Each structure stands twice: as C-alpha cells, then as structure tokens.
Structure 1
Amino acid sequence: MAKISSVERNKKRERMAAQFAARRAKLKAIANNREASPEERFEASLKLAELPRNSAKIRVRLRCEVTGRSRGNYRKFKLCRNKLRELASQGQIPGMVKSSW
C-alpha cells in the first residue's frame, strides 16, 4: 500500500485539474494563437503561470485504484501489475485469460 498522504495529494491534483481545465485550455489557446498580438499572447502566458501548479493535468500521477501504487500500472484497468495478475487469476477481470503455451 502506498502512503495515504501520497494518494490524497494525487486526488487533490485530480480535482484541481478538473476545476481549472476550462480556464487553462482557454489561456493556452490564446497563448498558442499565432494570429493574436504578442502582448495578448504574453498576457495569457502570465495568467497561465499564475494558476496553481497542481491544476496542470500533467501533474496527476496514474495510481492503482486498489493499492495506490504509482509504478507498473495498466491504464486500461487502472490497476498495478500485481493486482491485475491477482484479479486475473481469480477470474474477476472479464475477458482476461491467463496465457499458456
């Protein structure tokens, strides 16, 4: 199990990313617009820098839903490799079959 504080910090980042997503996208569109004036683009980039760092989607870490483990995760299942193997062996993941050759 991961530290509870790490998991909670990541949840907070997810909430902030969702909260500021529209504002961040709007400012990014202005800052990346080549047709806008340089002053307008610079002002948008300054406003973007004023937003909280944790509101950026890139700062959200993919963690296992069961254990909170941050490494070795499968995006499709939102599980770490250990729990994925365990649940697959128990037959709790639909369509997943243990390979044998």
Structure 2
Amino acid sequence: MAKKSKVIKELKRQELVVKYAAKRRELKAAGDWMALQKLPRDSSATRQHNRCSLTGRPRGYLGQFRVSRIVFRELAHKGHIPGVTKSSW
C-alpha cells in the first residue's frame, strides 16, 4: 500500500487540473506564456500520474479497470470483475 500522503497529493493534483483547465486553455490559445507560468505547477495535466484506486500503487496500472495488476489479479480470481476468467492452455 502506498503512503497516504502520496495518494492525497495526487488527489489534490487532480483537483487543481480540473480547477485551472479552462484558464490554461484560454492562456494557451492567446499565447500568453508568462501568465501561464504563474499558474500553479500542479495545475498541468502532464504532472498527473495514474495510481491504483484501491492501493495507491503507481506502477503496473491498468487504465481500463483503474487498478494495479496485482489488485486486478486478486479481483479476477475472486470473480469480482465480470467477463474475466483465468486462462489455461
């Protein structure tokens, strides 16, 4: 499990991106790069990092299910993800 502080920091970053999205779009269209630099750094969408919604793990993230590969495997074995079965050949 990831540190709570990292998970909370990422959530705050997501809120900033949503809050400043329209403002950033306007400044980019106008070409006002100096005003764009004065906005908070974390308001840029490129600074976001995908994390598992259950454990907060930053690596091995499966975007379709919004969880890490480890959690995905556990949920699939328990049958909590519809349409996913363990393969065997």
Question: TM > 0.5 between the two?
Answer: yes
Distance 1:59 1:3 in 2: 18
With the length of structure 1 as denominator, give the TM-score of the two structures: 0.85
Which residue is 2:2 aligned to?
Answer: 2
| 4+ runs deviating over 6 angstroms | none
Which residue is 2:35 aligned to?
Answer: 47
Distance 1:25 1:96 in 2: 39
Give the structure with higher Rg (CA): 1
Offset, 1:16: 0.3
Distance 2:79 2:29 in 1: 46
**Equivalent of residue 94 in structure 1, options 68, 82, 85:** 82
Q: Give aligned pairs, total.
A: 89
For residues 1-43 of structure 1, what are the alpha-carbon distances to aligned partners after superposition, in whole Å with 9 as ceiling and x for unaligned? 0000000000000000000000001111222xxxxxxxxxxxx
Offset, 1:97: 1.4
Give the 3-state SS of the residue equivalent to 1:76 in structure 2: coil
**Equivalent of residue 49 in structure 2, options 61, 82, 94:** 61
Stretches of structure 1 lacking an aligned partner (at least 5 in a row)? 32-43
Stretches of structure 2 lacking an aligned partner (at least 5 in a row)? none
With the length of structure 2 as denominator, give the TM-score of the two structures: 0.96
